[in-house]
Chains A and B, each alone.
Chain A
């Protein structure tokens, strides 16, 4: 069945780059997303990538997709204290009506 896995925690020093990794199992996944959730808040869509792309860059965010290994990563350059949050990797099938399957989330903490 569909499954999305992430490591639970990541701690980085302020100013360094953060890399959050994710693996998924559904080879029919067409859209792969990264959502950010701050404590007690909703889900903010950060970025997404089509499965036929290898990379997408958006300001400080870089998404890399290795479709062969079903591996997705989110790199945050120059990590700031405001980046502290839980980051969810998620995947969705081809149909725009498809539900989103979320990973367990990676809690990113920033050290001064």
Chain B
């Protein structure tokens, strides 16, 4: 079965650089979520989109922005990177169908900021 795809899987950047993370949800899933998991931490919700509109916002820094495109894939744009942005970034997707309650996670993008 198709899963959530994230790219790249690993990314190394320097401070003050920018990064773009991509997420391709499971086919027919219309809702995408972004989570950040710091070292030894639990995943923290950043932002979510439904039908290309932002549906919820969590602890996402102002330096970050995200959007969902017409094909439902999403991109997380991160600017002025800081050392503390080093983390595993997960994308998750689910369908709005109330009979389908699972939120499936991608493998994550590991961002290292030097």
Q: Which residues of A contact B (CB under 8 A)?
A: 31, 33, 35, 41-45, 48, 50, 88, 92, 96-105
Contact = CB atoms under 8 A, between A and B. Distances in A.
Select the residue from A99, A100, A101 with max chain B CB neighbours within 10 A: A99
A42 B42 contact: no
A42 B101 contact: no
A38 B94 CA distance: 22
Nearest to A98: B56
A17 to B, nearest CB: 24
B64 interface: no
Contact of A31 (B33, B90, B101, B106): B101
B42 A99 contact: no
Interface of B: 31, 33, 35, 41-45, 48, 50, 55-56, 58, 90, 92, 94-98, 100-108
A96 B33 contact: no
A42 B96 contact: no
A103 B44 CA distance: 10
Nearest to B100: A96
Contacts of B100: 96
Contact of B58 (A45, A99, A104, A105): A99
A51 to B, nearest CB: 11
B72 to A, nearest CB: 14
Nearest to B6: A42
Select the residue from A31, A98, A101 with max chain B CB neighbours within 10 A: A98
A48 B101 CA distance: 9
27 contacts: A33-B103, A42-B106, A42-B107, A43-B90, A43-B92, A43-B105, A48-B101, A48-B102, A88-B43, A96-B31, A96-B96, A96-B98, A96-B101, A97-B31, A97-B48, A97-B96, A98-B56, A99-B33, A99-B48, A99-B58, A100-B33, A100-B35, A101-B45, A102-B42, A102-B43, A104-B42, A105-B42
Given A96-B95, A97-B50, A45 B105 contact: yes
B24 to A, nearest CB: 14
